[in-house]
Structure 1
């Protein structure tokens, strides 16, 4: 958790009680291409108040382990984390007017789990990473919890993959639950 980020968002008038109501808007560059995010991330609330905040790398935001790996088998207590990442994925796909494949979602979630502070050539990775950094700045999450949540997202995308170009995860999970 990052108390400085919490204070900065509060000063900007953003409500922090429901992190899942926040979003990481897509920023565009030349020719309508999504610009990858860096250290500074745009954050908007559901009334479109927006502020750019500097967020720490994910590995610097984990808290001390609160649960043993065995206790992680219980349903996640961070549903807002899952919601924020998946809604970010929908916002990105809608902005780009193209759903990503199930295999690509699975790869991006795996990359985010295995190399949380890494870089990827796909701009969506930086937005998923930005959403994760935002949530971890607002809520206490251990490394084990974080990895478990990302593994669940990856397995969900994998479960829907029926062929290499399948977009079933987007079409059946993301769009129905997160589109306006």
Structure 2
């Protein structure tokens, strides 16, 4: 958790006690092309949009909590984390006007787990990373919990994949989430 980021978001009127209601806003350039996030994370709440400087993922891990088995429905305390990540993915797909493939979602979540502060050419990676940085700034999450959540998302994308090019994860899980 990053108390400085929490205070800054609260002063801006954002409801930090419900991170699942916050959004990482999709940014576009002058040609309306979705841009990769660099540095600051654009956070959208009921009170509007604000750019926030957040620490890297690896600096935000807190404690040594061991996650429960997430192979089934996640326990209620993990649902806001899942919702923030999945709504970010859904909003990205809505912004670009097409769903990502199941294979690409799986790859991006795997990359996020392996290299949480890394870089990827796909713009969606930076938004997923921004959502993780936002959530970890608001809640205490251990490295093991982070890895378990992101691993579960990667597995979910893989489970929904039926063939090369399938978009079942988007259609069956993400579609309909918060504006998608």
Q: CA separation in 1, counterparts of 2:87 and 2:7?
A: 24
Q: CA separation in 1, counterparts of 2:31 and 2:143?
A: 38
Q: CA separation in 1, counterparts of 2:131 and 2:177?
A: 18
Shift of 1:48: 5.1
Counterpart for residue 166 of structure 2: 166
TM-score after normalising by structure 1: 0.93
Q: CA separation in 2, counterparts of 1:3 and 1:55?
A: 11
Counterpart for residue 105 of structure 2: 105
Counterpart for residue 17 of structure 1: 17
Q: What pairs with 1:23-172 in structure 2 (closer than 5 Å)?
A: 23-45=23-45, 47=46, 49-67=48-66, 72-73=68-69, 75-76=74-75, 77-172=77-172
Give secondary structure in 2 for the equivalent of 1:166. coil
How many residues were matched structurally?
A: 176
TM-score after normalising by structure 2: 0.93
Q: Which runs of 5+ in 2 are unaligned?
A: none
Q: Which runs of 5+ in 1 are unaligned?
A: none
Give secondary structure in 2 for the equivalent of 1:144. helix
Say what the alpha-carbon RMSD is for the aligned residues.
1.3
